[in-house]
Structure formats: C-alpha cells, structure tokens
Structure 1
Amino acid sequence: MSHAEQTPQPPVTAKVPVTRTHHADTFIDDYEWLREKDSPEVLEHLRAENAYAEAVTANQESLREAIFQEIKERTVETDLSVPARKRGWWYFTRTAEGSQYSIHCRVAASDTGDIAADWTPPAIEAGVEIEGEQVLLDGNLEAEGKPFFSLGGLSVSEDGNLLAYAQDNAGDERFTLRVKDLATGELLPDVIENVFYGLNFSPDGTRLFYTVVDESWRPHQIKAHTLGTDPETDVVILQEEDPGMWLGFDLSADRTELMISIGNSEYSETLALDLTDEKAVPVMLLSREHRILHSMDPITLEGERAYVVTHDRGALNNMVSLLPANQVGAPYEQQEWATILEHRDTVKVEGTAATASHLLIAVRKDTTERVQILPLTGLGTAAQQPAVEPAFDEELYTASLAHAELEAPMIRLSYTSDFTPSRVYDYTLADGTLTLRKQTQVNNYDSSEYLATREWATAADGTKVPLTILRRAGITNESPNPVIVYGYGSYEASMDPGFGIPRLSLLDRGVVFVIAHVRGGGELGRQWYLDGKKLTKKNTFTDFVDATKYLLDTGWADPSRVVALGGSAGGLLMGAVANLAPQLYTGIIAQVPFVDALTSILDPELPLSALEWEEWGNPIEDAEVYAYMKSYTPYENVAALPYPKIAAVTSLNDTRVLYVEPAKWVAKLREETTGGEPIIMKIEMDGGHGGASGRYEGWKTRAWDYAFALDTLGLNPAGA
C-alpha cells in the first residue's frame, strides 16, 4: 500500500459558483451551496468532514483521553456554590460526581434579628442534603433523553411559590418557558415556545415578562404573559423595529420597575415600566436620539426616586451621574445631572448596581476589573463620601460583583486570577470587612508552581500591546518554548484574568500560554476598542501578528512550535492571521470562527447581521466599508500560501456563527494552500455556539482542542 493510500484524504467539496455583486464589485463564491443546512448532500458532506477530522487526529485519541482525565481528576466534582440570600431563602447549586448539570436548590433563611447570624450562609456540605432543602430544578433530570440542554433563565416569584425557567434542547438558543409550583412540584399548564434569554415575574406573581427574537435572531419584543391564559394572547409591552438595535430588560433592585434597554455598541435608550400598576406603559427615561451609550439604575435618596446613569456623554471612558426622577420629563438640555464619578482617562467605568444604602461601581483600572463602593448618603452633592475599593494581594486579578440584595448588610464579590481558583467573599457595607466564604478546591494543584506576568509588545504603529504570559514557574525565555497564543479583540470584550483547570494540562507539558490583549477588546478603555473596530479593524490582526513576533524576538517562542487559538470573533482573527502571516504558526485552531464575515453581514436576513453593523460597519450602504471588509475577511482572502495545520471547530445549530462559514473556509483553504499540512473541520452535530452541552462534554471539547495543539507542537507521546 502506497503512502498516499495510507494518508487520510479530505472530502472533495463540489464547486457550485454563485455570483455576488455589491458596489460594482463581483465575487464568485464556489461553496455557498453548503449553507443549505437541511440538504442531504450538505449533511453528508459534514459527516464526511467529521470522518476526515477523526482520521487525521486518530493518533491524538489517547492524549485527548489523558487530558480529559486530568481535568476530571483535578475537578472537585461533588461541590456546591455559596448560598446567596434572596427574600427569605438561601439559594445555591449543587454538582455531583458523574452528573453533567447543576442542581438548583434552596433552604429557608432565618430572621432572628442578629444581622451577622441571619446573613451568614448556612453550613452546607457537598453531597449532603440538609434538613428543609428543596430542589428547584435538577438539570440532569431535565436533560434526560435530550441531545442538548441549556438554561436560558430562572426566576422565582416574590412570594417564593413559583419557579419560571427556560430551556433549550437543540443548541439554537431558542428556549421553552415553563412554570413550576414549588409547593407541589407540579408544572403549570403555561408553556411558551421560542423565548429568548431573560425572564422575570411581576411583583404579585401573576405575570411573566420575557423576550422574543425575530427571524434574524434579534430580540425585538418584550412580552407579558398572565399565568393561566393562552400564550397567544400575551401582551407586547414593547417592540423594537430597528434591525440594528438589541432589546432587553431587567428588574430594578427594589423590584418595582422593569428597566428596558435598547441599544447597540455605540448608543442606547432606556425606558421604565412601573410594575406596581398593571395598566402602566413604558416611560422614556433617556432617548436614543441623544446618541449616548449608557445604563441606568433606579435608587431612592431621602425618599425621592432618582436614576444613576453610567454614560459616555462627553466622557469616552464613561462617568457616573445622578438624574432625579422629577427631571426625566424636562427637555434633555435643561436636565440637571449631578456628577457622582467624574471621567478619567485611565479608568473605564463598566456599570453600577445598588443596595438600599450603597452604590456599587464596576471599574476597569490597569487592565483589570474591580469594584468600588460608595454610600448613598450625600450622593451627587458636596457631602458625597469617597469610594472604597476592596484590596487584594495580586497584581493581575478579576474582582466583580456577584450578588447584591436591596436590604442586605453585605454584598457578594467573586475573585479570581490566572492561578487563583475562584473565591467568594462577602463584603460588609458598614465597616468594610471582607470575609472569605469559599475558596474553590482543586485537586493535585499548587499555585506556587505557576507564574502569570505582564509584558508589552510593540505594534508596527508604535502602540504597546499588553500580553499575559502564563507558564510553569521554572520556565523562562532563556531558551525557546512551545507557545500557544490566544486572542479575541472584538466587541470591547476583555480577556480578564481567570483560573482554568484545563489550561493546566498544557502548562504541565511545558507549553507557554500567552493571551494577546489586542485592540478591539476593552482592556485599556474605550479607545482601545475604537481602535480595533470598523475601519480600524485590521489593528486587531496586526497586533496579534506583532505580538507573535515579539514572543519570537524575546526568546519565549520556538519558531517551529507556535499555535494560534481563538474563537467566534477570535476565529475571525485566526482566519485573518492565517492569511497575513501563515509562516509564523505551526498550527491554528479556530473555534466557531466568523471567517465569512462579509457574506454574512451583507445579508440582513441572516441571524444578527444587522446588529453587527455597529461593530464592523455597514457594507451594504457604504462602499468604503465594503472594500475594507473585503480586504481582510478571511474566506475571500484565502490565497496560494503555505498554510499551517488548521482545525476549524464548529456546531451545526450555532445561531451566532453559522457552521457554513468554517465549512466554506476549510474547502477554500484546501483548494488554495501550497503547503502539505492537513486542514480539518470538526462539527458538533447537536451543539450550539458553545459546543455540546454538559460539563463532561465541555471537557471533552477542550481536550480535543488542546490535544490538537499539543500534537502540532510535537508534544504528543503517540507521535505521528
């Protein structure tokens, strides 16, 4: 048998030319036929792609299993969350060894008048049921017999008697809403199909609020369902017609107002619905016509209603202002906004939350997220007290607000870093006491054996790009190492420090894992984002390439052992750098990659396309945007280049990045590459944007990606 006969051969992808013309430019797309998801020919082709990927990676099976077992052994599988107090109950989740999903539970709280005792979480042991414990929802039972399971929301009525929950059993993020009587355990007859994320009860528990998506998968309606009635009669509270705007809602801290937000990445609008009046209609608080990107939180100050506004009105990195409710009806130019937190060039304000006594402000400073706490007394006046920020002992960490109940004497904070497993703290508002409630346990792990440090690469235009370099403590750049470079760089999303068990399996094999915080993300404030979107998007890609060159020039990376990794918009980044600098990478892993961006955004009927115009520009109406996007979109720029080994990982039911994008990209790469490395696509036939459901399936997915990377880096004991 010849070597050619032994080597797995990729499926032959038929060419069916389709012509697309915009702005006098014509593009011939040979693989657009793969978009027909229900076509037997397409499904057969996708199965053939999976078979080829399986054949190419067959030598990685034992490595995948080893990584999966390492993840499993390090994870304390039978565990529980720290109970959080809400309206007379302590709510928490349990996980059990051998089970894929969480179990949602509660136990009654006590009110003895001793604040410290009443607000100290009950001592609950992992795997041990306590007296009075009630199971609200067992994800494992819900998932039985179903190919996929994910929750899109949970809400308990004010009186604690009803549970509303939404579940997805396909991976397409269209949920079925059900209501459970917690006293009897019986389901009510109310069933609502095709709802989106987010649901809440009215204060009296007679109505449910939820969102609905349109044909392009954009949340465009908020509806109210009266329990016991036909869902066909549900009332539309608000409908948003602009295809470029996203609609959502949340409850005010005192649960008397439904705060409705409409917006995109550049400006927004807020309305409020009085939940104490069934006949109320939404009231405009701040209109989109002012082009202010903002969020609003209602508070009560000395008996008067007011709104805390986080906004970019003359404040690129946002500031926080106070708008009295009696000013809302005044003309915008005449409203008096009092400053709570002024704008700072070095600090980005991410948002606020409130208790009855304090304002909680999420800020980003020195690239990391932290929480500042401000008493409501004197807020927005000369008597305002200074903000307090809980201090931690690491340079690179993430501290965020986890839970704040209106009348609670303390707030819940979550804390993590790259090598500190998640911690849960309670912060006492009266005196600033920080109480550690839980340190997540990790088996076979010693944090002192690992290091996370910050270095800065210089981009071609002189911009300094932060890098987080993660490795075993004994590894230095005195000799080159196998390196994985990860990047995202879109939507102002920040790649914050956070602990991950799976990543340890890479580091323990000598890999240096580098996070390139490229422009388009939010790590260095709003300008960092603006410098990597629309007509500056290419900065995201060149920053990543320059970061890779820095790792090579400074001795961190072995030139023959560098793998690039990214997902979703980070998958677009992977496709772009594959075209820009294929010679720098031994391999590329693109997870649910947005690699056919121009085709998608040119079709407003496709899921989310119109919403993407604020991120990438509108190539339908703007010839300059069209030309710019065409110059970088990966699929259309595949050329006769020596592409490295590439794996595209996707899901059939993903509604955010359709499977067809990597399917077309992989076919085009195989057609054009001048190299001999395999280019494969692995497709999850029952998953969504996050892959298959269940924690074990998630671990297997991660193990697959990491085994592919390690094999590419020459770290697979099984060899070729």
Structure 2
Amino acid sequence: MAFKNRFQLSGLALTALWLTACGPITPAQNGQTAASNPPVAEQRPYVVESPHGNRQDPYYWLRDDSRTDPEMLAYLEAENAYYDSYRADYAELTAQVEQEIIGRIKQDDSSVPYQKGDYLYSVKYEAGKEYPIHVRTDKDGNDQLMLDVNVLAEGQSYMNVGNLEVSPNQNLMAYMVDNTGRRQYELRIRNLETGEDYAQTLTGLSPAIAWAKDNKTVFVIENDPQTLLSTRVMKYRIGEPAESAELVYEETDNTFYMWVNNTTDGEYIQINLDQTVSTEVHVLDADSPDGEFQVLAPRERDFQYSADHLDDRWIIRTDLNAPNFQIMTVAHSDIGDKSKWTPLIEHRNDVFIQDFTVFTNYLAINERSDGLRRIRIVPWENADQAQFIASDEEAYVTVFERNVQQNTDVLRYTYSSLTTPSTVYAYNMATGEQELLKQTEVPNFDASLYETARTWATANDGTKIPVSLLYKKGFKQDGSAPLYQYAYGSYGSSSDPYFRSTIFSLVDRGFVYAIAHIRGGQEMGRQWYEDGKLLKKINTFTDYIDVTEHLVAEKYAHPDKVFGMGGSAGGLLMGAVANMAPEHYRGLVAHVPFVDVVTTMLDESIPLTTNEFDEWGNPKNQPYYDYMLSYSPYDQVKKQDYPAMLVTTGLHDSQVQYFEPAKWVAKLRTHKTDANPLMYKTIMTAGHGGSSGRFARMKEIAEEYAFILDLVQD
C-alpha cells in the first residue's frame, strides 16, 4: 500500500515520459493526452529458461536490480501519472476518507510502560508527528528521551527503526535504522548517559540484536549483499572499527532464515535458524561472549522447535510427534540430545499451540481452538489446574504483551476484536483477577454502533471455512450491501479478527467487512496450513472464492458489489482469483503482490526464493514447476474481462520485487477485454511495507478506500 507524493503531469510532459519509456504512441492514442490513456509497455523478446521448458517473457526488461534504468523508471512514472489522472476525479472523496481515518487516531498517545531493571520503558507519539518517540522513566518519575525517530527522519524520504535493545546495565542502547525501505539495516549504538551515538557502526544487517552481559558486546546478523538473506552472525564490540567485527557463525544452507536474541531471563544468547519445515537453535552463555555456541537440538527435516530458558532448564515448543505442537523441557546439561526432552503440555488434535511465555510459577500458552486465539495459564506445580482467560465476544484475539520479568505472577496481554480496540490487561495468574491497564483511545468511534458475527462457508471439497464479519447495527441481510473481503492464506500466518480503526470508513457507508480464514493460514491448526501450500496451494484460492459465493448466497452482499483485498502473498491470492473467477468481483486491490511465481522461484539470486521452496515448491522439480505454472497470476493472464483493479508496490521492496507487479499490470493491459480501470502505483522511495510514517500510511489506505467507493457509486 505504497504511493508517491501526489503530482499531476501535463499531457505534453507525460507524453515525453511515455516516449522515453515505451516508444511512439499508438494510433489509438492520437488526439488524446497520454494521461487519459493507460501506458502500454513495450514488448521485448526474452526467454526464461528452466529444466522443464522455456517461456517467453516480453516484459522482463522492466527488471532492473540497480533501479536506475531511465526507460524502466519512466514507465513507472507514466503509470503513476495515469493513476493520478484517474483519481483526480474523486479527489474530494479521498480527502474526506483520509480526514475520517486520521480523525480516529489519538495523535498524542503512549504505550503502557513496562518495567525493566530500574526503569519503565514506553513509546510515545506527539500530535502531528509521524514517528514514535522512545522514552524511559526512572524511580523518581523523571522521563528520559532515548530516541526520537522524528529527528532521525528529518531530510529522509523513508525511515524505520527496526529494533531497539538496551544493554543489561541500561547505559547503552543498540538500534537498527533503515532509510531506504530495503530492509537493510545500520547498527547504531547510543550512550544513554550522554545521548550521543558512537561514530563506529555496521551496515547491511538484519534488525536482530542480542547483548552479552559485559555491556560492550553485541551479536548481529550480516546479510548477503546479493540475495539479502541473513547468513552470518557477527560479534561486535562497541566503539571498535567495523572491520573488527568477528564472525561467530555462518549458515551455508540458504533455505534457512536467521535471527539472534536474548532469552527472557537474559542468561543466554540464541541463534535461531528457521526454515519452513526445520529449526535449529544455538545457545551461548551471555556471561561468556567469547565462548562457543551449543546446539540445543540438531536440525532435521520435519522437526521444528523454539525455546526459552528458566531456572537452568529449557522450555520448548515443538512439533516433535505433535503436528499441532506440544511443550517439552530439558535440563541445560542435557542439551544436544532431543531424546532427553520430556513432555510438559501434550499434543492435542483440536488445539494448536501458537506461542508460550515462561514465569517462575506459571506457564502461559497462547493457543488456537475453533479458529480463535486464546490464553491458557498452567501452574508448574499442578497442570490440572489450568485456566483460560475468558471473553464474552464471539470473535476475538488475545496475545501476549511484552513480559520481560519471569519472577512475577502477573501476565500482561492484549485483547482485541473487530469492535474492541486494543486493550492491555494485567492478569494475576495466582488469583485470576485482572486489571485494565489501557484501552487504545479511538476518537470519533462508538463501539455500540457495530456488530460482529461468524459464519462458516463450505469449500468445494466440503471443508468448513470460518469467516469473521463486521457490520453496522441495523444491517439488513437482504443481499444489497457492498462487501470488502480480506484474506492472506500463506506461510501459516493467520488472519485474526483484530480491531482495525480504518475499516469503519467503509462500514459506516454500509459495507460488510469479512475476513476469510482460508487454508494456508493456521487458524484451524497445523493441518490447515499443510492443506494450503505446495501441491495443495489451489485450496487457498478456491476457499476465497467459495467464501465470496457463500456470503452472496447468504445475502450478506450484493453480487455486483464485492471487493477483495490482499497484500504480498495475499496479492498472489488476488491475482489468482482475478484469473479464476473475475465475474465474482467488482474490484480487487493487490498490494505488493507476489504474482510471477515461477520466474521468481527459478531465480535463486532473488531474496526469499531459496527459503521458500517448502512453501511453494522448487520449480526445478517438474511436478512443482507444472503446478506453480498452473496458478501463477502472471503466467495465467488471459483474454477475458477482469474486475477493476488497483495494484501497488514500492520501488525498493526486498520481499516482492517491484518488477513482478509491473510486468503483471503490463500484461493485463494487453489481455483484458473489459473497460474497467486498471491502476498501478509505485512509491519510488519505499519498500514492502509502504510509507514509513503513521499518517502517510493512513493516506495510502484512504486512496484504496476511495478507489473502491468511487466504483460503488458508478
């Protein structure tokens, strides 16, 4: 959802850009300004080779890894100008929606402080400012400014602080800065006693940070400059030259992601290596930064785990003989051999263990059952006395807040639903009492005006798909309402029914908001994910279509007023749906869409490719090649009518490269047989997440909603 600053080009100026990008204007464009006609990219012969046959890709020239080619840039600018010309007709509507959305943000706000050592740490926002301000408060109630990201952002077109960690003695702060949107971070170290940053730094990093107890050594991850994959763990001593950083671990299997962190008790540093179906964790005593890492359990295919440390033992979440995961434990002296692991919380077929947090006297489990995410509290001394944190709502989400102290009976968690703003509670695990710490204040919002519900759609193979719904009270289920349907459906990432303040600009105008919990996520357990990936990926797309048909049949929506939205892998979903069932949708919005599946997965120089062979398949293997080709949105574009479409990307996106949607849109322009609008927007100064400021993001959402609302009014 990324857009460049608004601008208009005259017909003459746009024609000049167009000639640079794509050659002469076709006869059909004579007598009209280029802004009134969509750009049509030049086709240039190019062969994509593979072991299973070659394919022609006439728009491959739009790929430029340096992002400097003038013809490519001119084409993107021409598309931007065409979109600007189109949306000028409803600029007043966009401004109105933007004002509504920003009006639901409490501009001067702060997070609930959490205690760590001698300080309370929190994040604040000030009215009119885009970025957070990190502060801490001492025992006497005195606030100290740690980092004002608004100051960092001055003179920058993009700014993101990807991580921030304070040293054990709380005198130093390590933080990671990205000012391009490429997710390549620079390590900075700030002396919190003086407020000054050290001159020496490291660049080309992931945002992960782990501190040793000596308060002068940090462990970070260096990325490969070509693939951008996290490959090397570096040990760096504060204040020393960058070239003094020491390699302590290098991953040679490029299918693994990497992360470093401290355990909750601060006693150990962890290197977490994670692949779709395999995990390996290395641990090091934080008192001995020059020591050797030990492997908690060697990697094996189809074996995953994560771990935290408590009282000289490791608490482990694992799928060892447990598809929905179980909780196990092992003494630190026995690490390296998983046969020494003993069960704590056994596997259940109807409960998926999502996460856990350890305390001295309790284990808190965040689990999924019946598609909902809830919290179970288990006393170490008596697991039979487990208790749940209850809810009165039909669809909701409970997740752990930041719990940094183990020696406490108080768990902090966040509760949210489609009608309940994010609410932080302190739950006493000994007494069952809970204290409301904060509910996010949402101006111009009245929860009593809205209702939520759940329904179940039947997929084409008989599977029941849960759907979360939000609509305004008084909604008539008579088939007249417009529908905004969202889903993701990949990587086991679940689309939970969180509160989303922006959506009320649609709901207040009569829309039904639906979250389709389709296969490929993990809402219904691990098998839900397994049934929506690799050679079962088609289920993700057909589930989404089946949900649409269900909502129309049950009269939640008018058949000619259905709109879909998805981003990244959800953008792949939008692309597949556009090819498979275009007649069901008035419009589709695809943000940073992964749409050129086969070509991308054949190219191991592209970030994320090798890591994801177990998600999509390796196209060097013929069955996977053929299967991916059968649904790849770019390859399956055909001569047919398509819905109205808005496609967005960021020039510096490192997750889904800008040229995937660029090529897809170019091909759609030459194949679509309808007169529906096809709009493509590239933000030239951002990456996968769009603009970095909080208000800039709201403007982008307003543009999306206005695109949809304008179509409803047609």
Q: TM-score, normalised by structure 2?
A: 0.93
Cα deviation for residue 50 of structure 1 reads: 0.1
Q: Residues of 1 paired with 2:628 and 2:301: CA distance?
A: 29
Q: Residues of 1 paired with 2:51 and 2:197: CA distance?
A: 55
1:340 paired to 2:339: no
Query: Counterpart in 2 of 1:619?
Result: 619
Percent of matched pairs sharing the same residue: 37
- How is 1:349-498 mapped onto 2 (pairs within 5 angstroms)? 349-377=353-381, 384-404=383-403, 405-498=405-498
Query: Counterpart in 2 of 1:325?
Result: 332
1:99 to 126, 129, 137: 129
Q: Residues of 1 paired with 2:301 and 2:505: CA distance?
A: 50
Which is further off, 522-531 or 74-83? 74-83
- How is 1:266-281 mapped onto 2 (pairs within 5 angstroms)? 266-281=277-292
Query: Counterpart in 2 of 1:12?
Result: 40
1:705 paired to 2:704: yes
Per the alignment, do residues 13 and 634 of structure 1 end up closer, same or farther by CA in structure 2, a change over 3 Å counting? Answer: same
1:299 paired to 2:295: no
Cα deviation for residue 290 of structure 1 reads: 6.0
Contact preservation (8 Å) 2:479, 2:555: yes
Q: Residues of 2 paired with 1:623 and 1:488: CA distance?
A: 27
- How is 1:248-287 mapped onto 2 (pairs within 5 angstroms)? 248-287=259-298
Query: Counterpart in 2 of 1:114?
Result: none
Runs (5+) with no aligned partner, structure 2:
1-10, 12-27
Cα deviation for residue 610 of structure 1 reads: 0.5
Q: Residues of 1 paired with 2:653 and 2:630: CA distance?
A: 26
Cα deviation for residue 176 of structure 1 reads: 1.2
Q: Residues of 1 paired with 2:266 and 2:497: CA distance?
A: 33
Q: SS of the counterpart of 2:457?
A: strand
Q: Residues of 2 paired with 1:538 and 1:358: CA distance?
A: 42
Q: Residues of 1 paired with 2:588 and 2:186: CA distance?
A: 37
Contact preservation (8 Å) 1:563, 1:712: no
Query: Counterpart in 2 of 1:601?
Result: 601
Letter in 1 for 2:589: I
Q: Residues of 2 paired with 1:492 and 1:476: CA distance?
A: 34
Query: Counterpart in 1 of 2:683?
Result: 684
Cα deviation for residue 375 of structure 1 reads: 2.6
Q: Residues of 2 paired with 1:373 and 1:86: CA distance?
A: 23
Per the alignment, do residues 627 and 180 of structure 1 end up closer, same or farther by CA in structure 2, a change over 3 Å counting? Answer: same
Query: Counterpart in 1 of 2:555?
Result: 555
Query: Counterpart in 1 of 2:191?
Result: 181
Which is further off, 25-34 or 184-193? 184-193
Q: Residues of 1 paired with 2:453 and 2:712: CA distance?
A: 23
Contact preservation (8 Å) 2:276, 2:611: no
Which is further off, 203-212 or 601-610? 203-212
Query: Counterpart in 2 of 1:576?
Result: 576
Query: Counterpart in 2 of 1:118?
Result: none
2:81 to 39, 51, 58: 51
1:90 to 99, 120, 133: 120
Letter in 1 for 2:272: S
Q: SS of the counterpart of 1:612?
A: helix
Q: Residues of 1 paired with 2:321 and 2:328: CA distance?
A: 12
Query: Counterpart in 1 of 2:97?
Result: 67
The one-character-per-residue Cα deviations of 1:112-138 (angstroms, maximum 9, x if unpaired) are xxxxxxxxxxxxxxxxxxx51101000
The one-character-per-residue Cα deviations of 1:411-444 (angstroms, maximum 9, x if unpaired) are 2111111110111111123322210011111112
Contact preservation (8 Å) 2:40, 2:669: no
Query: Counterpart in 2 of 1:165?
Result: 175
Q: SS of the counterpart of 1:396?
A: coil
Q: SS of the counterpart of 2:422?
A: strand
Contact preservation (8 Å) 2:485, 2:514: yes
Q: SS of the counterpart of 1:421?
A: coil
Runs (5+) with no aligned partner, structure 1:
111-130, 378-382
Query: Counterpart in 1 of 2:5?
Result: none
Letter in 2 for 1:508: D
Contact preservation (8 Å) 1:77, 1:96: yes
Q: Residues of 2 paired with 1:311 and 1:506: CA distance?
A: 41
Query: Counterpart in 1 of 2:631?
Result: 632
The one-character-per-residue Cα deviations of 1:500-556 (angstroms, maximum 9, x if unpaired) are 111000000111111111110111000000000000000000111111111221112
Letter in 1 for 2:288: D
Q: SS of the counterpart of 1:631?
A: helix
Q: Residues of 2 paired with 1:512 and 1:467: CA distance?
A: 12
Contact preservation (8 Å) 2:87, 2:707: yes
The one-character-per-residue Cα deviations of 1:466-499 (angstroms, maximum 9, x if unpaired) are 1112111111322421111111100011111111
Contact preservation (8 Å) 1:479, 1:555: yes
Q: Residues of 1 paired with 2:395 and 2:481: CA distance?
A: 23
Query: Counterpart in 1 of 2:17?
Result: none
The number of aligned residues is 682
Query: Counterpart in 1 of 2:24?
Result: none
Cα deviation for residue 253 of structure 1 reads: 1.7
Per the alignment, do residues 329 and 82 of structure 1 end up closer, same or farther by CA in structure 2, a change over 3 Å counting? Answer: closer
Query: Counterpart in 2 of 1:81?
Result: 111
Q: SS of the counterpart of 1:211?
A: strand
Contact preservation (8 Å) 1:295, 1:351: no
The one-character-per-residue Cα deviations of 1:187-239 (angstroms, maximum 9, x if unpaired) are 12221111112113211211011112112121111111111211212112211
Q: Residues of 2 paired with 1:446 and 1:24: CA distance?
A: 58
- Structure showing greater relative contact order (alpha-carbon pairs closer than 8 Å, 6 or more residues apart): 2
Q: Residues of 2 paired with 1:187 and 1:325: CA distance?
A: 37
Which is further off, 587-596 or 544-553? 544-553
Query: Counterpart in 1 of 2:23?
Result: none
Q: Residues of 2 paired with 1:395 and 1:490: CA distance?
A: 25
Q: Residues of 2 paired with 1:445 and 1:372: CA distance?
A: 31
Query: Counterpart in 1 of 2:235?
Result: 224
Which is further off, 160-169 or 472-481? 472-481
Cα deviation for residue 23 of structure 1 reads: 3.3
The one-character-per-residue Cα deviations of 1:622-671 (angstroms, maximum 9, x if unpaired) are 10000000000000000001011111111101100011011000010010
Q: SS of the counterpart of 2:559?
A: strand
Letter in 2 for 1:260: I
Contact preservation (8 Å) 2:277, 2:301: no
Contact preservation (8 Å) 1:90, 1:107: yes
Contact preservation (8 Å) 2:563, 2:586: yes
Per the alignment, do residues 486 and 203 of structure 1 end up closer, same or farther by CA in structure 2, a change over 3 Å counting? Answer: same
Cα deviation for residue 357 of structure 1 reads: 2.8
Letter in 1 for 2:631: Y
Contact preservation (8 Å) 2:353, 2:365: yes
Q: Residues of 2 paired with 1:395 and 1:319: CA distance?
A: 26
Query: Counterpart in 1 of 2:8?
Result: none
Q: Residues of 1 paired with 2:376 and 2:656: CA distance?
A: 36
Q: SS of the counterpart of 1:98?
A: coil
Per the alignment, do residues 400 and 604 of structure 1 end up closer, same or farther by CA in structure 2, a change over 3 Å counting? Answer: same
Q: SS of the counterpart of 1:38?
A: coil
Letter in 2 for 1:147: S
Letter in 2 for 1:78: D
Query: Counterpart in 2 of 1:660?
Result: 659
Q: Residues of 1 paired with 2:301 and 2:452: CA distance?
A: 43
The one-character-per-residue Cα deviations of 1:226-262 (angstroms, maximum 9, x if unpaired) are 1121121211221111010111122112211112211
